[in-house]
Amino acid sequence: MSLSKQFIVALFRTLTSTVFRVDDAQLAQVPEHGPLILVTNHINIMEIPVIYSHLQPRPLHGMVLADRWKNRIVAWGLDVCGTIPLERGGVNLDAMRRALNVLKESGMLIISPEGTRSANGRLQNGHPGIVPLALKSGAPLLPVGYYGGENYKENLKKLRRTDFHLVVGKSFCLNAGGETATREVRQQMVDEVMYQLASILPEAYRGNYADMATKTERYLVY
């Protein structure tokens, strides 16, 4: 690990341990090496330094909007962490190529299919952008959920730390089963992925995927 990366990890650890009491015991279930796509929910910005620092020294890479590179200091940190820039809208062919290379080299990608922060912790609809990456790479997906940290700002005002929990599910692969991956099929696939994520979260956090009776696993391979 480079000195720059050691600095970033130490900074993240100090920051997050000041704000949170992190329950990361289940992260031991995450393999030491990839290829692997970690599928997470997206609540607020603080989950990023938590999961990145607590999964070290695993070869972890994230995907972040290219707008974040406008700030020089932030851009430096993103580059040190091997983050892949995503253009807002568009096809993002370069990001796809870089992501596939990470997986080809046995790295790990962390992706939030919701695409935007929920703030309240409840799952929003997943977007199918993750599906072509999973199908093309053949890499397994592993649900990793966060909960408890959504109210950290209120606790900070009272000088209290917040309990932040990480939970890990069971890995699986996506398989179209010979079907053409139309937009409708891709959406069904990502919904199945989101139900896997919902199943490891407390019921209050399942949001748009709370109706577990409609959960299907047609495109999942364990």
For the chain, give every domain's residue range.
3-221
Torsion-angle region of 61 (φ positive above 0: left; ψ -120 to 50: alpha; else: beta): beta
pLDDT over threshold 90, residue 101: yes
pLDDT of residue 179: 87
The pLDDT of 185-210, averaged and rounded, is 96
Summary count for the chain: helices (H), strands (E) = 7, 9
- Distances in Å between the Cα of 45 and the Cα atoms of 50, 98, 124, 130, 135 are 10, 23, 16, 20, 28
Residue 53 near residue 197, CB atoms below 8 Å: no
User: Mean of the pLDDT values across residues 180-207?
Assistant: 95
| Confidence (pLDDT) at 88 | 76
Q: Is 61 helix (H, G, I), strand (E, B) or coil?
A: strand
**Nearest Cα to Cα of residue 98 among 74, 63, 71:** 63
Which pair of tokens denotes residue 191?
């919904």
Residue 90 has pLDDT above 70, yes or no: no
CA atoms within 13 A of residue 196's CA, in its CB half-sphere: 27
Q: Which residues contact 160 (CB under 8 A, 6 or more apart)?
A: none
The CATH label, of 3.40.1130, 1.10.8, 3.90.25, 2.40.370, for the domain at 3-221 is 3.40.1130
**pLDDT, tens only, 44-79:** 989 999 999 999 999 999 998 888 898 999 999 999
Identify the pLDDT of residue 58: 94
* Residue 91 scores a pLDDT above 70: no
Please give the share of the chain, as a percent, with pLDDT higher than 90. 82
pLDDT at 54: 95
Predicted confidence (pLDDT) at residue 116 exceeds the cutoff of 90: no
- Percent of the chain as helix, strand, coil, to the nearest 5: 45, 20, 35
> pLDDT tens-digit profile of 151-162?
999 999 999 999
Render 202-217 in DSSP notation, one character per residue. -GGG-GGG--GGG---
Per-residue model confidence (pLDDT) at position 86: 87
Mean pLDDT along residues 164-174: 97
Per-chain mean pLDDT for the chain? 93
